[in-house]
Structure 1
């Protein structure tokens, strides 16, 4: 074997080229400035994750609303509640044994988020009533430059950060329906996502446009108190039986069947048991979580399970509609169950059979000052119009976000929205988003999903801090390959069926942009590790190994410098300390 001869020419060249070692121990974290947009579920969780995982950082959360909680601050319409089990719609680090009912109301979820925000002293990091209206990457400085409007004063200020985290959410940017004359209506006009607090519907003739998840909740909430309710339905939708019936009463798990309920509400005895017995409570949470996660098997339909679900729901819905043929034709779909979002609708179907309710499937031509004109010429006079017509689900940012290739608004208007593992975008350095394209938006609670994205982003932030990276972004060809995989696999799910769905940006046969191509567990598994080889990097030196420092490590000065002797099987794993 030959002996190693150092390359003297290379050594001299690097010194003359300006390279010098970094005079600090390897692993020393440099300061990082982070801005998160949105103080909803994802933004609040990000505050806690950074506190638990990072040192030497600065973090600011800009929130356009007057308080935290995001969608649960904004959505206050009658009947508004979560369509997931309460005990799964909570952070794993903040269990709440005191949920009052199986599917929590928006007010209760808002209170949960506000309470944890105060308990964790998060408010100093949050600037309420501040709206980000422009963000642009500055290559020379390696920073994002932002314009933020103070909604109280109207003033526009500037800020900057190394990392920009977009936690504005996909179901947040509500929109009016495109109906001629809508804003010429002289009665009360209200959108479900911007409910008027002083709107009194009692004794009025009310039109509810839309039978998505919001409309399905609003109709039974208003029906008992209005004089007449006209429900405009564009297309049929599958309505699930109440969750407590499906997940608890009909469960094969004895622990769930034994839950003591009073309708949709937990009895005081049941809540007390949740509080007193943490082992039982954890088992209950895990059992309901498994019920939610199992849904993907139905949606893939490898064993005809979607067909069976379709038949079962058809029978249940027909019975709830009292076998009224007109209503059944209007409400029960012909496409396979699961193609559109499966919506729990306690009392919805039953309310449609009440004498003061009319279901209309005819197309709306325009809105007049006193009512709504149908395609056949009939004008239905109403006192109020409720638009339960949803959100802009195109994934286009609501303000300019300008990266290396231009404004993401323009790019995603012309091209299909694609993101690497749902949270990073090609040509957008140091930019991450929550619930981006092809995220598990329809797979279950977003609480634990937000936690996993935060963990992933934190790994990136630590890498940036300790390896002297200026910027990183996923490689364009890798993002393309991920999108290709997603769209090919999603074709085998019932989501790809012939139905109009927000999963396909409101189209019938468009590509599925909103959902992850796999189960919820599949997504968690995928997000466990950061695949650095999928990213392009810009370093602060011509030598990427400058981060190795002065030959020493921060671990030498820690409380346990011989940690590698404690658990040899864990050396190199995530459980080994970073600092």
Structure 2
């Protein structure tokens, strides 16, 4: 008997036994809520807690409540596959309705049992010896901090909810009402006031037409051109979705009450409609392939549409219609936005802002524009940098991603940060369509990894540096094929005009789903809880022959691989 054999003891458990694990998720937005259900359905012998910094669930849909706020993804795609909602009132749902949907599914699925609201993770540090994340959590009601731990730390804090103020001199000196679109005061009254809206991203484009009829004057500061597209319902009606859309009773983009009742009673009709909308969403990727015929047609069509909506106003066309490729910035269906810019109480300013003064905004020309309120629709911090110290194997991810471009393995895992997974991390398909479908696929992918660790005696798992390096090399080689890499200021490139695309997947939405179907174990390194990686084989028996198990499962589906 060799020394190595004599030092090794058989684990007295059958093959397939799973060790107990504690899982902590950060955030109870869509990703966090879906993760609760996925873990419940797919794991055994585990405990799970979700820490949510807000007093309610919903994430970005709880936080964003500015006038006109709605999703630019069709409602029937912006839902979980396991929670169909035939009651959507419009083709593009307002924020309040999406928040109600998330709250309702939380109640109906009893997901709240796993959630602690008004709690924020403020520090996480990996303990190599114990194979756990040591956490510090702040109770935002009592303002106390307590310790916790987990074997797996899942970051579902999101990318578009860490809002930021614009870097403008004197911003805080303003004596009127200063508002960020992502922190809209509940009782803000803008009617009859002189209001400035800084920014023409998706939030600014929605706010302008929503408040324009009620304000005394609206001063809109536009820094960059942006693609504003026709309502997707119009393009769908002209394409392959036309046959089924022609049977749907709608007033504009609103579903009639009778149509909603039909959806509720006729699941076949509802299912066909959902799949048609989803399929059309999945066909948009060719538009962003640089130099393709479809990209050229889209450029010409949207340019003509914008010029028409702007009533051929040369000054507005020069300010708003891009010269860069379609998709370089996120496409926005700005319903009512361009007509609002032609209203008598609206002034569009393209001159740069020098500073903010107590009574208003000073332009580069020297003019001072006096306003009563300033709305900053200036977006979010999209650097992917964690909002708290996240210390892996002697490295803080905050430092790493401050000093170099953020990179991750398939957008979710990072070398030297074992058992840590993030949703919508670097180069996730966040601009490819509904993130609810996207987060479902990521949750299943993560659960498969946790299952492997539970059943194969793996204490710690993380991607290798070489795998992430190769993955990032592929990304950087692929992106010049797309309009995302075009010369425009975009949050896809962390607000830069040119540079690496850090926020999008190098391929289509379906491409990403396909990529995640199989866990590439060869790209990871493992730390086992035994000196022998095969200790999980145990005592020679299998859980599949225990009492109540189907020990002849292989006869049921002989052709399954």
- Tell me, yes or no, whether TM beats 0.5: yes
Q: Is the 8 A contact 1:167 1:433 kept in 2?
A: yes
Partner Cα separation in structure 1 for residue 237 and residue 214 of structure 2: 31
Q: TM-score, normalised by structure 2?
A: 0.99
Partner Cα separation in structure 1 for residue 39 and residue 241 of structure 2: 40
Aligned residues: CA RMSD? 1.0
Confirm whether residue 459 of structure 1 aligns to residue 455 of structure 2. no
Partner Cα separation in structure 2 for residue 532 and residue 252 of structure 1: 40
Partner of 2:19: 30
Partner Cα separation in structure 1 for residue 272 and residue 396 of structure 2: 47
Residues 101-180 of structure 1 aligned to structure 2 (within 5 Å): 101-180=90-169
Partner of 1:577: none
Partner Cα separation in structure 2 for residue 247 and residue 358 of structure 1: 33
Partner Cα separation in structure 1 for residue 241 and residue 537 of structure 2: 55
Question: 1:174-198: CA deviations, max 9, x gaps?
Answer: 0100001111100000000000111
Partner of 1:429: 418
Stretch moving more, 280-289 or 28-37: 280-289
Partner Cα separation in structure 1 for residue 310 and residue 221 of structure 2: 17
The one of 369, 376, 379 equivalent to 2:365 is 376
Partner of 1:576: none
Partner of 1:3: none
Residue 447 and residue 252 in structure 1: after superposition, are their counterparts in 2 closer, same or farther (change >3 A)?
closer
Partner of 1:234: 223
Partner of 2:314: 325
Residues 568-579 of structure 1 aligned to structure 2 (within 5 Å): 568-570=558-560, 573=561
Partner of 1:566: 556
Partner Cα separation in structure 1 for residue 284 and residue 25 of structure 2: 32
Residues 288-437 of structure 1 aligned to structure 2 (within 5 Å): 288-301=277-290, 303-437=292-426
Partner Cα separation in structure 2 for residue 115 and residue 178 of structure 1: 38
C-alpha deviation, 1:268, in angstroms: 1.3
The one of 269, 294, 308 equivalent to 1:280 is 269
Partner of 2:52: 63
Confirm whether residue 262 of structure 1 aligns to residue 251 of structure 2. yes
Q: SS state of the match for residue 103, structure 2?
A: helix
C-alpha deviation, 1:298, in angstroms: 1.2
Question: 1:287-343: CA deviations, max 9, x gaps?
Answer: 111111111011114632111111111111111111111111111111111111001
Partner Cα separation in structure 1 for residue 503 and residue 203 of structure 2: 19
How many matched pairs? 560
Partner Cα separation in structure 2 for residue 161 and residue 129 of structure 1: 19
Partner of 2:65: 76
The one of 485, 497, 505 equivalent to 2:494 is 505
Partner of 1:443: 432
4+ aligned runs moved over 3 Å, structure 1: 248-253
C-alpha deviation, 1:248, in angstroms: 3.2
C-alpha deviation, 1:107, in angstroms: 0.2
Stretch moving more, 246-255 or 449-458: 246-255
C-alpha deviation, 1:536, in angstroms: 0.3
Question: 1:405-437: CA deviations, max 9, x gaps?
Answer: 411010001111001011111111000000000
Q: TM-score, normalised by structure 1?
A: 0.95
Partner of 2:531: 542
Partner Cα separation in structure 2 for residue 195 and residue 296 of structure 1: 34
Partner Cα separation in structure 1 for residue 18 and residue 264 of structure 2: 41
Partner of 1:479: 468
Stretches of structure 1 that go unaligned for 5 or more consecutive residues are 1-7, 574-579
Partner of 1:186: 175
C-alpha deviation, 1:14, in angstroms: 2.3
Q: Is the 8 A contact 2:51 2:120 kept in 1?
A: yes
Partner of 1:197: 186
Q: Is the 8 A contact 2:492 2:503 kept in 1?
A: yes
